[in-house]
Chains A and B, each alone.
Chain A
C-alpha cells in the first residue's frame, strides 16, 4: 500500500508542471505566455451526468483553475464567450500506438517448424535478457516515443486529448507511456513515463521458434510469472527481463486480445497469479457475455465493426458464414450489450481501419443502444481510472489538466461539431467556431430562375448547399465557400446556359441576410440578396438515421456459429423403449430392451421399464449404445495443435486453448461422439498436456471440460518427432533419429527426478519448472501418457526407458505396429488406440495392417479405434465395424473399441463407456446396427441433454437458411444505401491432425 501511495505521488510529480521547457535553451527571446483563459457562458459537462449550464471555465497554464457558474473572472484572463457551446473533458485513448514508429505487431517474425527456414531454438538477441525474444518487459515505450503531429491532429479532431502509447509487440511487451496529444516537445507531453505493463498472446517479431502456438504463448507467460517470483530470491543469474518483469507488476496490467475466448483465456492466466488485467477486447464479447461478466475485468473496446459483405453474387455469398453475417449485424451492439451487463469498458480507436470510422462507428454503437452517458464515461472517466490518472484527467475539475473539447452542440447529437480541442491548456482548432451559424433555409431571386430557395446544411468548412426553384423539388448543388463573413456561391442548374456566380457577405440581424452580386452566365451582373426564413427541417437527419440505424433483429446463439442454440439445451428424463441395447456390460446386447435416462444419468437398463414422468422414445428396430469416445482427437482447439518448436513441451496445455465454437463438435455429435480426448500433436517427443471434453455443444470452453478426470499428456515417436517429412530446413532440432529420441526421454526424466528431489529439500528456492512439473506428475502416477507411435523398435524402446526410469505408459496411440508387440504391451498393461485401416502414406506405416486392432485385442491389450481426424471421428462406429471385417472380432467387442475401451484407456470407465445405472447419460440412438455403414445417429445425449437430433437438425438447417437470407437481404440494403462493403473471401477452416504445424496467426 505504501508503495502504491509513493507511486501515485511520483505520477503527480510528473503530471503537472509549473512551467515549460526548462532544460532546453531557446533560440531568440523567450516567449513563455501565462495561458490564462476564461471560457464563459458555456454548457460545461463536468462528467457524465453532471452538467453546468451557463458556466465558466478558468484555465491557467496547463491546469483548470476554476469551474462553475457565475465565477468572477480575475484580471488578466482572456475571456471568450462560448454561449450556446458545450465543453466536455477530452477523450483518452487507452489503447494506442500513438507516437511509436514500430509500434504495431509486425508479421511473421517467429518460425515454428515445417516452415521455410530453420528453427531458432535460442534467442538471437544479445545481452542478459530472457531466453525467449517474445518476453521483453524491459521495453519502455517512453524511450521510443516521439510526438506525431499528423496522427495527433487526427486524434484531436476526434476529441482525444491523451493516449496510452504502447509498443504492441510480443508477449511481455514492457511498459507503455501516457501522453497528451499536444503538439509540443516530448518532454512536455509525457504524463506517465510508465503507465502500464502490457501483455498479449502474440509473439510478434520475436524470432525464437517457441512459442509457435497459442498454448505455447500461454505456457511461456505462465512460466515467466514463476520465473519472476523465483528471480527475486536467487543469486545465480542476472536477467534484465526477469528483473523488469517483476518491477512492472506494480503498474496497471493490460492484456491485448482480439477475440472473446482469448479474453477469457487472458483473464484466467492473470487470475492464476493474482492479476486482474485490463483487457483490450476483440469486439465480440456479446457472444459470451456471462463469462465475460464473470471475469470482473475492465475492458477496452474497439469499434472495429465489420463492413457489410458484398453478397450480390450468390456464389460469393456462399463464402460468407452465418457467424460472419451475424457478427456484422451484432457487432455495433456489442458496447450496448456490455453496458447492460454492467461490464466496465473504455472505448478506443484501436483496430479501426481509419480514424475516420471512429465517429461513424460510435454513432452506430449509440444507435444500437449504447447510452450517451456510458459513451462519455467510456471515453473519459473510465480510461482515466484504468490508467490511474483520474486525479488528472477524465473530468473537468479544478486542478486537473486542462484537456477539454468545445462542441457546437450536445456532443453525441447528430450534426454536433467539435470546434476546439484544448490539450494541456493549449487550443487546437478542429473546426473554426464561426461567429454565426448560417445553416438554414434562405429565399432569394436569381436571374433566369426567379424565386428560389437555398438550403445551407453541413458543417463549417464543408457546407452542403443546394438551390431549388420554389415549388420544384429538383435541387441543384451549389459550390459554396465561406471565409469569415465573405461568401462565394456558384451553381449551374439543369437547362441553364452556364454557371451563375455570386459573391456576397453576411449581414447580421434578424433575419440574417446575404447580400452581394450575382453574375449570370452571360457575364451580366445584378445585385443579389438571400434572406433567412427558418431552420432546416429535420427530415434529412432522420433519413440519415434510418440509413445507418441497423437494429439487431437476430438472436444470440450458443455457440456463435451455424446450428448454435438460442437456449442452452437442458437434460431431459427419457425412456428409450424396445430397442436393441448394447450395454457393454455382462448382459451383452439386449434385444427389445429399454434405457431410462434421468437427471443426466442412466437410471436403468432392462426390459419393460416404467417411464414415470420420462419422455418415451420408441426404439423399435433401433439400437442404443453408449456415446462414442474418441481417444485421439484434435477438434475444438484454438490456434495450433502442436507447440512444434522444442522437443520437450510438457508445459503446454490444451486445457488453455479449448474452442467451444468449433462446428466439428456438432458434426461429431451427428456421428454419435460424446467424449473427445483433445491431444497435442505429434511434433515433439514429449508434447503437451491433453484435455478431455464432452461435446456439450454451446457451452463455454470451461463447461466443455469433462471434469474430475485424470490428466494425460501426449508423447510421440518416429518420423514426426525426428522431423523426417518437414523438408530440408528441419535439420537442426535434436533428435533427428530414433536413437536421439531415446536420449530425449532419458534426459528429460533424469532432470525431472533431480528436480523432484530438489523440491523435496525444505526451504530451497527451486525455480518452478512447468515442463518438469508435468514429468514429475508422470513419475508420481498423477499424469498419464498416451504416446503416438508406429513401428515396433521405437515402441519397444519407450517401454524399456519407462521400465528403467520407473514410469508407466498408459496408452500407445496410433500404434500401427502394435500387433508386433502386443504381448509386451499386454505384460505391462499398456493399451493401444489405433486406426482401423490407415497405411502407406509414409515409411513408418508400411506395415500398418487393418488386423492390428484384432491382434492386439487377442493379446488382451485394451484396444481402441481413434480418429485423429475430424472427418473420420464422425463415423468411428463404422471404423470399429471394420474390425469385424478385418480379423473377425465379435460385434459386441468391436463396439467396445470406440466406447468402453477408450473409456478404460482414459480412466473414465466408472462414468462412461457402458450402459449401466449410475453412469453418465451419454447415449446414442442409432437407426441400425451401429457398426454398419447404414447406421445413422438419430439422437445423441450427453449428460442426458439431447445435443443432436436428426429430425431437429432439419429445422435447424431451415433456421440457418432463413437467418442467412434475412442478413443477406439486409446486406444488400446496406449496399444500396452506399454503406462500406467488403468482398466475401472464403476461409477454409483449419482442420487439425497430429502433424499439423501452424504459426500463431498474426492478427
Chain B
C-alpha cells in the first residue's frame, strides 16, 4: 500500500513538472509528432480490435508506422523498442469521425470562420481538404478522447462537394491527407420544415412534392450527363462539376447520399442503382424501416448520433439509442456520424449508448472504427488493430466508450507518438495554477 502511495506521489510530481512545461506553451507548441523512430510493444492490455474481436491480456507491436503483431501472449520485442506495460488498460483503434466539418469552421457563429458551405446548389467540384485547417483549436480536443481520423465534409445545397479523410496530427492539410477526395456528397431532396417564423415558412405538401421532384430531375439530368462525360473518349469541353463524377463512375470515388426519411432512402437507392452506383446513406433516420432494401442492395449506412430525440412524439423514446442495433441485427454495415465539429469528442459515447441499449460492446466499437473504415474505403489501412495496418491507436485507462473509463494515456497516429495536450487541458492547468491546485 505504501508503495502505491509513493508511485502516486511520483506521478503527481511528474504531472507538476510537465505542467510547468505546458504552462509556457500554448496550442502553437503542441507539435505534430515526428515519424515513428522506434518500435512500441504494448503488453498486458485488453485489445479491442474494432472488428468485433477482443483480446484479453494481449500484446500489440507496431513499427515503422504499421502494426506488426496483435495477439495474446508475448511477442518478439524488436530491438530498441519501447515497452508499454498496460495491464488493466485498454487498447483501441483510433476512432474515426465521419461527416464532420472539423477544420472547416472555428466559431460557428462567426461567418469569417465558416468554410463548409459553398454558395449554389451543385458544387460537386469543391474539395474540403484544401480548406481543412490543421491549426484549429478543436482538433486536439478530439484526440484527447480517442478520435484520430476524420472525414472532413462540406455541407449545403444539393451537391455540397467532396470529402477527404484526414488524420488528426499534421502540420498542414497536405500532411493530414489520409484519403483524398474520397467521396461526393449529395443531399437527397426532401421535405423541408419551416420554423414558425412569420406564420411558418413551410410549404404545403403538394408544393413540397413538386419541388422535390424538380430537384430530383435536376440531379437526374446532371448525373446522366456526368456519366456520358465520364464515358467519352476525351473531354470536348472541360467541366469541373461533371468531371468530379468521373472517379465515381470508375469506382474510385464514393457517393454519400444524405437522406433520413424512408421514402427518400428508397428513392435514392433506386435512383443510384439505375446509374450503377452503390451509394452510402448518411443520416438514415428511418433506415431501420427499410432494412430489406438496404440489405438486398448491400447499402451501408452512416447513421446519426444516438444522442438524439426521437423524430416524432409517438416513437419509442429510446429509438435513437437502439437504432444501430436494429440495423446491425439486420446485417447492415453501419457506422455513426455526429453533426458538427467540437461535438466529435463525444463520438465514443454514441457507441457506448448503443452498447447500453443492447448492441454487443465490441460491435458498438466497430460503429466508430472497423465499420467506419470499411464504409469510407480505408479499411486496408485503418479501422481495426490488425497486422499490416497503420498504427492508429490509443491506450485508455478504462472502457473508452464510457465517460467513466475514457482516459487516454498514449495515442499514436501512423505509429507517431502524439502529444495529447489540448487547449482545454492547458486552460485547466492555468487555473489550477491560479487556485494553487497543482502544488503538492
Residues 984-1002 of A at the B interface (beta carbon under 8 Å)? 984-991, 998-999, 1001-1002
Residues 57-103 of A at the B interface (beta carbon under 8 Å)? none
CB B423 to nearest CB in A, in angstroms, measures 8
Contacts of A998 in B (CB 8 A): 195-197
Instruction: State the CA gap A125–B108 with chains docked (Å).
Output: 40
Find out whether the CB atom of A991 lies under 8 angstroms from the CB atom of B309: yes
Instruction: State the CA gap A861–B192 with chains docked (Å).
Output: 45
Find out whether the CB atom of B341 lies under 8 angstroms from the CB atom of A663: no
Find out whether the CB atom of A934 lies under 8 angstroms from the CB atom of B356: yes
Instruction: State the CA gap A987–B196 with chains docked (Å).
Output: 10
Q: 7 tightest A-B contacts by CB?
A: A933-B352, A842-B109, A840-B342, A851-B428, A562-B314, A849-B424, A841-B108
Find out whether the CB atom of B427 lies under 8 angstroms from the CB atom of A847: yes
Task: Pick the contact of B401: A664, A846, A858, A933 (CB < 8 A).
Answer: A933
Find out whether the CB atom of B424 lies under 8 angstroms from the CB atom of A957: no
Find out whether the CB atom of B403 lies under 8 angstroms from the CB atom of A932: yes
Instruction: State the CA gap A881–B404 with chains docked (Å).
Output: 6
Contacts of A666 in B (CB 8 A): 317
Find out whether the CB atom of A850 lies under 8 angstroms from the CB atom of B403: no
Contacts of B191 in A (CB 8 A): 986
Contacts of A724 in B (CB 8 A): 109
Find out whether the CB atom of A840 lies under 8 angstroms from the CB atom of B356: no
CB B206 to nearest CB in A, in angstroms, measures 8
Find out whether the CB atom of B428 lies under 8 angstroms from the CB atom of A887: yes
Interface membership of chain A positions 901-928, coded 1 if the CB is closer than 8 angstroms to chain B and 0 otherwise = 0000000000000000000000000001
Interface membership of chain B positions 187-217, coded 1 if the CB is closer than 8 angstroms to chain A and 0 otherwise = 0000101011111101011100000000000
10 A-B residue pairs with CB within 8 Å = A318-B312, A321-B314, A562-B313, A663-B313, A667-B317, A851-B431, A871-B308, A933-B352, A936-B356, A988-B193
Return the chain B residue nearest A936 by Cβ. Answer: B356
Answer whether residue A843 sits at the interface, using C-beta atoms and an 8 A cutoff: yes
Return the chain B residue nearest A935 by Cβ. Answer: B356
Most buried by A among B106, B202, B342: B342
Contacts of A819 in B (CB 8 A): 427, 431
Answer whether residue A700 sits at the interface, using C-beta atoms and an 8 A cutoff: no
Contacts of A823 in B (CB 8 A): 435
Instruction: State the CA gap A929–B403 with chains docked (Å).
Output: 11
Find out whether the CB atom of A1001 lies under 8 angstroms from the CB atom of B200: yes
Contacts of A670 in B (CB 8 A): 317-318
- Tell whether A315 pairs with B263 under 8 Å between CB atoms, given A322-B313, A859-B435, A933-B349: yes
Answer whether residue B295 sits at the interface, using C-beta atoms and an 8 A cutoff: no
Instruction: State the CA gap A660–B109 with chains docked (Å).
Output: 34
Find out whether the CB atom of A855 lies under 8 angstroms from the CB atom of B428: yes
Answer whether residue B107 sits at the interface, using C-beta atoms and an 8 A cutoff: yes
Return the chain A residue nearest B203 by Cβ. Answer: A985
Most buried by B among A318, A870, A936, A960: A318
Contacts of A933 in B (CB 8 A): 349, 352-353, 355-356, 401-404
CB B133 to nearest CB in A, in angstroms, measures 13
Contacts of A964 in B (CB 8 A): 314
Instruction: State the CA gap A666–B317 with chains docked (Å).
Output: 8
Instruction: State the CA gap A517–B294 with chains docked (Å).
Output: 72
Answer whether residue A878 sits at the interface, using C-beta atoms and an 8 A cutoff: yes
Contacts of B110 in A (CB 8 A): 842-843
Answer whether residue B175 sits at the interface, using C-beta atoms and an 8 A cutoff: no
Residues 97-113 of A at the B interface (beta carbon under 8 Å)? 107-108
Find out whether the CB atom of B193 lies under 8 angstroms from the CB atom of A986: yes
Return the chain A residue nearest B340 by Cβ. Answer: A841
Residues 345-366 of A at the B interface (beta carbon under 8 Å)? none
Instruction: State the CA gap A470–B99 with chains docked (Å).
Output: 75
Find out whether the CB atom of B314 lies under 8 angstroms from the CB atom of A850: no
Residues 944-1003 of A at the B interface (beta carbon under 8 Å)? 953, 957, 960, 964, 983-991, 998-999, 1001-1002
Interface membership of chain A positions 884-898, coded 1 if the CB is closer than 8 angstroms to chain B and 0 otherwise = 111100010000000
Answer whether residue B8 sits at the interface, using C-beta atoms and an 8 A cutoff: no
Find out whether the CB atom of B314 lies under 8 angstroms from the CB atom of A855: no
Answer whether residue B407 sits at the interface, using C-beta atoms and an 8 A cutoff: yes
Answer whether residue B143 sits at the interface, using C-beta atoms and an 8 A cutoff: no
Find out whether the CB atom of A323 lies under 8 angstroms from the CB atom of B313: yes
Task: Pick the contact of B403: A855, A885, A983 (CB < 8 A).
Answer: A885
CB A891 to nearest CB in B, in angstroms, measures 8
Instruction: State the CA gap A116–B195 with chains docked (Å).
Output: 13
- Tell whether A841 pairs with B313 under 8 Å between CB atoms, given A108-B198, A822-B435: no
CB B335 to nearest CB in A, in angstroms, measures 18
Answer whether residue B380 sits at the interface, using C-beta atoms and an 8 A cutoff: no
User: For chain B, what secondary structure do more than half of its interface residues adopt (helix, strand, loop), or is it mixed?
Assistant: loop
CB A420 to nearest CB in B, in angstroms, measures 41
Instruction: State the CA gap A984–B402 with chains docked (Å).
Output: 41
Q: Categorize the interface residue count of chain B.
A: 35 or more
Answer whether residue B389 sits at the interface, using C-beta atoms and an 8 A cutoff: no
Contacts of B401 in A (CB 8 A): 933
Interface membership of chain A positions 829-842, coded 1 if the CB is closer than 8 angstroms to chain B and 0 otherwise = 00000000111111
Find out whether the CB atom of A881 lies under 8 angstroms from the CB atom of B435: no
CB A177 to nearest CB in B, in angstroms, measures 29
Find out whether the CB atom of B353 lies under 8 angstroms from the CB atom of A315: no
Answer whether residue A280 sits at the interface, using C-beta atoms and an 8 A cutoff: no
Answer whether residue B246 sits at the interface, using C-beta atoms and an 8 A cutoff: no
Find out whether the CB atom of A858 lies under 8 angstroms from the CB atom of B435: yes
Instruction: State the CA gap A964–B310 with chains docked (Å).
Output: 17
CB B213 to nearest CB in A, in angstroms, measures 16
Task: Pick the contact of B310: A115, A667, A850, A872 (CB < 8 A).
Answer: A667
Residues 364-395 of B at the A interface (beta carbon under 8 Å)? none
Find out whether the CB atom of A990 lies under 8 angstroms from the CB atom of B352: no
Return the chain B residue nearest A842 by Cβ. Answer: B109
Task: Pick the contact of B317: A719, A847, A953 (CB < 8 A).
Answer: A953
Find out whether the CB atom of A840 lies under 8 angstroms from the CB atom of B424: no
Find out whether the CB atom of A929 lies under 8 angstroms from the CB atom of B404: yes
Answer whether residue B121 sits at the interface, using C-beta atoms and an 8 A cutoff: no
Contacts of A562 in B (CB 8 A): 313-314
Find out whether the CB atom of A884 lies under 8 angstroms from the CB atom of B404: yes
CB A106 to nearest CB in B, in angstroms, measures 10
Q: Give me 4 other A-B pairs in contact (C-beta within 8 A), A315-B262, A839-B424, A843-B110 excluded.
A: A935-B356, A957-B316, A986-B312, A991-B309
Find out whether the CB atom of B403 lies under 8 angstroms from the CB atom of A931: yes
Task: Pick the contact of A116: B198, B263, B349 (CB < 8 A).
Answer: B198
Contacts of A839 in B (CB 8 A): 342, 424
Answer whether residue A653 sits at the interface, using C-beta atoms and an 8 A cutoff: no
Contacts of B404 in A (CB 8 A): 881, 884-885, 891, 929, 931-933
Instruction: State the CA gap A953–B200 with chains docked (Å).
Output: 34
Answer whether residue A157 sits at the interface, using C-beta atoms and an 8 A cutoff: no
Residues 95-125 of B at the A interface (beta carbon under 8 Å)? 106-110
Instruction: State the CA gap A991–B310 with chains docked (Å).
Output: 12
Answer whether residue A620 sits at the interface, using C-beta atoms and an 8 A cutoff: no
Find out whether the CB atom of A850 lies under 8 angstroms from the CB atom of B424: yes
Find out whether the CB atom of A841 lies under 8 angstroms from the CB atom of B345: no
Find out whether the CB atom of B403 lies under 8 angstroms from the CB atom of A990: no
Contacts of B352 in A (CB 8 A): 933-934
Contacts of A563 in B (CB 8 A): 317
Return the chain B residue nearest A961 by Cβ. Answer: B314
Answer whether residue A820 sits at the interface, using C-beta atoms and an 8 A cutoff: yes
Instruction: State the CA gap A656–B175 with chains docked (Å).
Output: 58
Return the chain B residue nearest A950 by Cβ. Answer: B318
Answer whether residue B346 sits at the interface, using C-beta atoms and an 8 A cutoff: yes
Instruction: State the CA gap A991–B193 with chains docked (Å).
Output: 13
Answer whether residue A939 sits at the interface, using C-beta atoms and an 8 A cutoff: no
Contacts of B241 in A (CB 8 A): none
Residues 509-545 of A at the B interface (beta carbon under 8 Å)? none
Contacts of B137 in A (CB 8 A): 840, 846
- Tell whether A855 pairs with B432 under 8 Å between CB atoms, given A322-B313, A850-B424, A875-B307: yes
Interface membership of chain A positions 862-890, coded 1 if the CB is closer than 8 angstroms to chain B and 0 otherwise = 00000000111011001001101111000
Instruction: State the CA gap A842–B356 with chains docked (Å).
Output: 32
Contacts of A315 in B (CB 8 A): 261-263
Most buried by B among A115, A670, A839, A998: A839
Find out whether the CB atom of B317 lies under 8 angstroms from the CB atom of A840: no
Find out whether the CB atom of B427 lies under 8 angstroms from the CB atom of A849: yes
